[in-house]
Amino acid sequence: MTRVVAGIDIGGSKVLAVVLDERRDVVASVRLPTSIGAEGVVRSGAEALRQLAQQIDVRAEDFTVVGVGVPGLVEVGSGHVSHAVNLGVGGALALGPELSRRLGVPVVVENDVKAAALGAAQLLGLEDADLAFLSIGTGLAAGLVTGGQVRRGARGAAGEIGHVSIDPEGPVCRCGQRGCLETFASGTAIAAAWPALNGEPPAASLFAAAAAGDSRAVRVRDTFADHVASAVRLLVLTCDVEVVVLGGGVTNVGSALLDCVVLALQRQAATSPFLATLNLPARVAVVPVGSAMGAVGAALSGLAAFTSGDTARRRSDDGDRPA
Ligand SMILES: [Zn+2]
């Protein structure tokens, strides 16, 4: 039987879902608004899969495996999610088992940033490179892919560099520490330094004002870029990944972000022969605006777990082994 693999990226405002063919190309996609809360999240995921099934004219239960990417703390083994604040899920949610029960398919749940790292590697043709995906959105976090696999670490915290404190006198972070990198290099940090008017995204407003020559905007933008560059440096110095791919909501400003970060990396290396040898400016990339990297990565996470025999349905029903 032909494998049909789906990936569902459940974000705070929208659900993006894709079907991958045997060559890992996207052959169908669906976009829906997210219903918030535990039941809403499960319903949104199930609805996305039903619509995908309709598009390619199969039944929901015909999917070989479904990978789901969600924000928050994910226990990949059990498919449980907690602290998914953006989704209105404060406590624990048995997302994998619940979706699997409703749809009759094996479901694998992965943290959205870690899934997006796999998706970025695939979409940028970097499957063989060690790569970090740096998500610059409401918060700041990285997903690491080494040897073709997502690095989770002992407690799933690998890549949580947004909570490295760089200024003990800095602003209080939502994690309870002071001066975390995330309080300087995130969409939230931009919104605090450059509150936008008229409902425009603060990052877009800031970069437009800076491009138009507003000197205060240039300062705020360059300080922000300096901190993103610090995050890039941190990732390379801890993991020596070949490429750091910038993604997340802030990258919707386009190539201007990459340009500023590259300039910041060049500035930082100008006085350090050590940093200069690492050639950081050449090792940063940005995901194309509007790419389905999160959903593609979720599908790949699902496929990887399915191949290794580690899915919610298999654990709950050892006798049922779909082809
Ligand atoms: Zn923090």
Q: What CATH number does the domain containing 107 carry?
A: 3.30.420.40
Q: What pTM value is reported for the model?
A: 0.90
- Give residue 155's pLDDT: 83
| Residue 173 Cα to ligand 1 middle (Å) | 5
Sheet harboring 243-247: ordered strands across?
149-151, 140-146, 131-136, 243-247, 284-286
- How far is it, in rounded angstroms, from Cα 206 to Cα 2? 48
Same domain, 137 and 280: yes
Same domain, 56 and 203: no
Domain that holds residue 170: 125-286
Structure tokens at 54: 């309709």
H and E: helices and strands count for the chain: 10, 12
Q: Specify whether the CB–CB gap between 28 and 46 falls below 8 A.
A: no
Per-residue pLDDT of 174-207, as tens digits, reads: 889 999 999 999 999 999 999 988 888 999 999 9
CA 158, 100, 25, 303 dihedral sign is positive
| Residue 28 Cα to ligand 1 middle (Å) | 38
- Give residue 312's pLDDT: 57
| Residue 110 Cα to ligand 1 middle (Å) | 21
- Label each residue of 119-181 as H, E or C: HHHHHCCCCCCCEEEEEECCCEEEEEEECCEEECCCCCCCCCHHHCECCCCCCECCCCCECEH
Which residue from 267, 14, 240, 284 is spatially nearest to 136, judged by alpha carbons?
284
Residue 234 domain-assigned (yes or no): yes
| Residue 139 Cα to ligand 1 middle (Å) | 9
Same domain, 191 and 269: yes
Residue 44 domain-assigned (yes or no): yes
Residue 120 domain-assigned (yes or no): no
- Give residue 85's pLDDT: 81
| Residue 32 Cα to ligand 1 middle (Å) | 31
| Residue 258 Cα to ligand 1 middle (Å) | 24
- Give residue 313's pLDDT: 55
Same domain, 143 and 264: yes
On the CB side of 135, CA atoms within 13 Å amount to: 23
Partnered with residue 28 across adjacent β-strands are 19
| Residue 261 Cα to ligand 1 middle (Å) | 22
Residue 117 domain-assigned (yes or no): no
| Residue 323 Cα to ligand 1 middle (Å) | 44
Residue 94 domain-assigned (yes or no): yes
Same domain, 242 and 186: yes
Residue ranges of the chain whose pLDDT lies below 70: 1, 310-323
Same domain, 179 and 258: yes
Same domain, 162 and 99: no
- Give residue 317's pLDDT: 46
